[in-house]
Amino acid sequence: MAELTYLQAISDGLRQEMRRDNRVFVIGEDVGVYGGAFKVTLGFQEEFGPWRVIDAPLSETAIVGSCTGAAIMGMRPVAEMQFADFISCAWDQLVTVASKQFYRAGTPVPIVVRLPSGGGFSGGPFHSQNPESSFAHIAGLKVVCPATPEDAKGLLINAIEDPNPVLYFEHKHLYRRIKAEVPEERYTTPFGKARIHREGEDLTVVTWGAMVYTADEAAQQLEQDDVSVEIIDLRTIIPWDRKAVLDSAQKTSKVLVLHEDTRTGGFGGEIAATIAEEAFEHLDAPIKRIAAPDTPVPFSPPLEKAFIPQVDDVVAGLRELAEY
């Protein structure tokens, strides 16, 4: 085991796969000479050469389109968007072409698109979004949102192995703030299998990505009031672990769904609907959602703090549920 940051774990998993499989290559803006916008691929071009670590022009459409073509021809490309926000430029290639190719022709399209996402550093409306729900709606895509260094590595390796297009949302706020023990050997973390981040008996929080830590801080405060909170880290939202969520809902009877994406159309609505449909008789309170408001992400630090769900917001929501 080695102690790695979230960013180092991503880099370690990618490097291991490139050493293991010559079909794996990286393409993106400044991924080679510069080492990527956040230095995930620093030193990769020196080790693997410019034909496997490709500095692309400023065109997300060209990056995803070339990955799709390469994948159809048997390669396993990993594309980096400098920021998740920019994936909208490649919508047509990803949603119209890559996601539907297997359905249309039976041809696997094993591409991974790495998406540095999320706010917390005053990046403003074009560098801070969490657009995962936009792609959760698209059949043929898988959507991954790791919260821990161990999962960041294992989910990335599994994504590279997967025969489908995978959107890999890596939260920028976690890059250098979260550090943990990570196995040095190669391993995979399965899609659609949630992780019980914290066991509890009274309330359930369902979340993913950076919000896992917001929920954990809130749960620690509730513990002082003798309220036990269970935290389900989904890890992936397509596919998502319905059984783990429903089992926890049935156990605690009170559920809060938390995510950093905007509220309307957010994936929390799908989770809440599923619980209401399949576990309604087990509930002792309405399902509660906490999410960002339906606005662009503000640049101003105080406004951004008001936009992103905070620990105090979750504490208030949990106390409301506990008292219901």
Q: What is the pLDDT of residues 132-190, one digit of tens each?
A: 999 999 999 999 999 999 999 999 999 999 999 999 999 999 999 999 999 999 999 99
Mean pLDDT of 202-230: 97
Residues linked to residue 168 through DSSP beta bridges, in sequence order: 114, 144
Per-residue pLDDT, 175: 98
3-state secondary structure of 288: strand
Q: What percent of the chain has pLDDT over 90?
A: 99
Global pTM exceeds 0.85: yes
Give Cβ neighbours of residue 73 (< 8 Å, ≥ 6 apart): none
DSSP for 49-91 reads: -TTTEEE--S-HHHHHHHHHHHHHTT-EEEEE-SSGGGGGGGH
Measured between alpha carbons, how far is 281 from 277 in angstroms, rounded to an integer? Answer: 9
Q: Which amino acid belongs to residue 23?
A: R
Per-residue pLDDT, 218: 98
**245, two tokens:** 């969520």
Measured between alpha carbons, how far is 181 from 22 in angstroms, rounded to an integer? Answer: 28
- DSSP category for residue 177: T
**17, two tokens:** 């796969």
Residues linked to residue 289 through DSSP beta bridges, in sequence order: 257
Q: What percent of the chain has pLDDT over 70?
A: 100
Q: How confident is the model at residue 96 (pLDDT cuts 50, 70, 90)?
A: very high
Catalytic one among 127, 171, 173, 197?
127
Give me the count of residues in the chain: 324
Element (H, E) at 28: strand 24-28
**322, two tokens:** 């506990």
Mean pLDDT of 204-227: 97
**Exposure on the CB side of residue 207, measured as CA atoms within 13 A:** 30
Residues 280-310: tens digit of each pLDDT: 999 999 999 999 999 999 999 999 999 999 9
Mean pLDDT in the chain? 97
Give Cβ neighbours of residue 96 (< 8 Å, ≥ 6 apart): none
Q: How confident is the model at residue 264 (pLDDT cuts 50, 70, 90)?
A: very high
Per-residue pLDDT, 195: 98
Per-residue pLDDT, 112: 98
| 137 among known catalytic residues | no
Q: How confident is the model at residue 97 (pLDDT cuts 50, 70, 90)?
A: very high
Q: Which of 317, 292, 316 is nearest to 304 (CA)?
A: 292
| Pairing, β 24-28 against β 76-80 | parallel
- List of domains in the chain: 2-182 (3.40.50.970), 195-323 (3.40.50.920)
208 within 8 A of 194, measured Cβ to Cβ:
no
C-alpha dist (Å) from residue 221 to 10, 33, 177, 282, 311: 31, 46, 21, 26, 9
Measured between alpha carbons, how far is 141 from 152 in angstroms, rounded to an integer? Answer: 18
